[in-house]
Amino acid sequence: MKKPNVHDLASLAKAPVTDPVITANPAPTRPASTTISRPGQTRTKIAVYMEQSEAERTRAAYNALPATSRPPSFSQWLATIIAQAVDQTEKTTGPLHGIPAGQLRKGRPLNP
């Protein structure tokens, strides 16, 4: 094996460190969310069970969107779609009143 030239190694410059943990600089801020939201409301989690193939296609659909025009996260993208569906339902049924967590049936879906 050939020995490296020590002079050449000494002349190499170190790559700039951009890791915020190492440099103690805060990470750059994300762009504003495109998720539909209402002022003064807190966020909560909703679990959705679906066939694995549908979940994979859903992830692929998000990934296929141009990075410059999609929400910064898969979760925000799904929240936007759900909010649009709720708005569409309200156009048909009139205003909806919130139902607290624990009031709807949950768990594994029934097999068809």
Domain ranges of the chain: 45-93
Decide which of 51 and 27 is more confident: 51
Question: Cα 92 vs. chain centroid, distance in angstroms?
Answer: 29
Instruction: Choose the most confident range, by mean pLDDT, from 13-22, 63-72, 95-104.
Output: 63-72
Q: Which residue has the tokens 């009143």?
A: 97
Under the banding of pLDDT at 50, 70 and 90, the label for residue 109 is low
Q: Cα–Cα distance between 2 and 4 in angstroms, integer?
A: 6
Q: Cα–Cα distance between 54 and 95 in angstroms, integer?
A: 30
Residue 25 has a pLDDT of: 59
Q: How far, CA to CA in Å, does 54 sit from each of 13, 81, 82, 98?
A: 49, 15, 16, 28
Decide which of 84 and 111 is more confident: 84
Contact 26, 20 (CB under 8 A): yes
